[in-house]
Amino acid sequence: MELWQQMIRDSVHTVDQLVEKFGLDHKVAQELDGFFQARINPYYLSLIRYPGDPIWLQCVPDKKELEDFDAEEDPLMEDAMSPVPNITHRYPDRALFLVTSQCGIYCRFCTRKRKVGDHEKISMKGLESAFKYLEEHTEIRDVILSGGDPLMLTDAMLEKILQRLRQIPHIEIIRLGSKMPCVLPQRITPKLVNMLKKYHPIYCNTHFNHPWEITPESSKACQMMADAGIPMGNQMVIMKGVNDDPAVVKELVQKLLKIRVRPYYMYMADETKGANHFRTSVETGLKILEALRGHTSGLAVPHFVIDAPGGGGKIPLVPNYVLHHDEEKIILRNYQNKIYTYKNYADKNNPEGFGTKVKKNGKNGKIKKEEFKPRRIVKVPVLEEV
């Protein structure tokens, strides 16, 4: 048995352990276990500095989870967009492939609480129909392995899946959606990365939410993946009491770049049953983004998105930097709130926007620019500073 597997076995997961280690009421602990089980491995448990800290909030069950009576179990409608078991096909050329129900820890804000931890909801029996679907749908060029966490599979099982995917000619990119580099970095071994690099191009999106999660162990894990040619991205969720502070996020994204993990997405928390006590206002996210843009490297600035309820996909949000927009000019503000004017041009090839159409004169071959009045003028109201 490998070290990471032993650490999974040694995790806090029973009602009695929750009562003993975290002082939960026994009845509440039982109700929480019936709703969404706990798993806190020894490594991640060791990162807790005090009760209620940003690490504690992410992994220790809370009675607030039982108060979301009206919230949706599947706000992103993943199940409705699942043509066969284990596959969610929302975007034209990408598919989500759920390969396991197990995780290194069970995050209390998980958007897939309805499935994660339940082997009957994400079953190995569904793999064959999933492979057949991917083979038949030639528009799919990008497959994201998720679950649960695909790195909860043994190296041998994961390699079987990768081999099969690489036999499908139209699949160009394989992505791993794994929190293991953050929550159980002992899973990232030389044996694993040597196996993974045989199936390039492989990318990995991981999930750090707080600077305290960047430790010598997690840094080594991410660097091993990067050294194996696996580009690393991070998907952070804004959560109350965890990272809803611009200074915390700035520290996080700068530290991520040092270990070769590119900040990729910063999400608003999903409207998931049992997780709504983590949610913040959209203005909080915009404030964080304003504190990053221009104040640190562009490499450190993630896309700020809402994964739209009802299966609408990821929708980006940005602070309002455009103050006015018409056929002659665009008035902009920068990160210091200084105002700048940029000359605009028209484009007959783009009647909904602005620009210049270039014509070539057939007689003398000269280039001629023609400006025109566009169909509409766009005036963007100035928002209050957030």
Query: In terms of DSSP bridges, do strands 339-343 and 329-333 run parallel, antiparallel, or are they unpaired?
Result: antiparallel
Q: What is the pLDDT of residue 16?
A: 97
Peptide bond into 201 cis (omega under 30): yes
Is residue 90 part of the annotated active site? The answer reads: yes
Is residue 112 part of the annotated active site? The answer reads yes
Establish whether 345 is a catalytic residue.
no
- Phi and psi angles of residue 156, each rounded to the nearest 5 degrees, phi first: -65, -45
Closest by Cα among 101, 104, 151, 91 to 127: 101
| pLDDT score at 129 | 95
Strand partners, 332: 322, 340
What is the architecture of the domain spanning 40-316? Answer: Alpha-Beta Barrel (3.20)
d(CA 38, CA 18): 8
Q: Give the pLDDT confidence score for residue 327 in this predicted structure.
A: 87
Neighbours of 83 (CB within 10 A): 12
Residue 115 among the catalytic residues: no
CA distance 292 to 290: 5
Active-site residue, selected from the candidate residues 59, 110, 182, 204: 110
**What are the binding residues for [4Fe-4S] cluster?**
103, 107, 110
Tell me the binding residues: 103, 107, 110
Whole-number pLDDT of residue 221? 98
59 is catalytic: no
Annotation says 53 is catalytic: no
In the chain, which stretches have pLDDT less than 70? Answer: 347-386
Residue of 39, 43, 74, 90 marked active site: 90
Residue 91 designated active-site: yes
> Is residue 307 annotated as a catalytic residue, yes or no?
yes
Which entry of 62, 74, 244, 307 is annotated as an active-site residue?
A: 307
Cβ distance 64 to 277 under 8 Å? yes
Q: Which listed residue (164, 314, 333, 348) is catalytic?
A: 314
Of the candidates 115, 270, 273, 279, the residue annotated as catalytic is 270
Query: pTM to 2 decimals?
Result: 0.87
In which residue ranges of the chain is CATH 3.20.20.70 found? Answer: 40-316
323, 356, 357: which is closest to 342 by C-alpha? 323
Cα 323 from Cα 385, distance rounded (Å): 12
Q: Which of 91, 335, 340, 342 is catalytic?
A: 91
Residue 72: what pLDDT? 85
> Quick check: is 94 catalytic?
yes
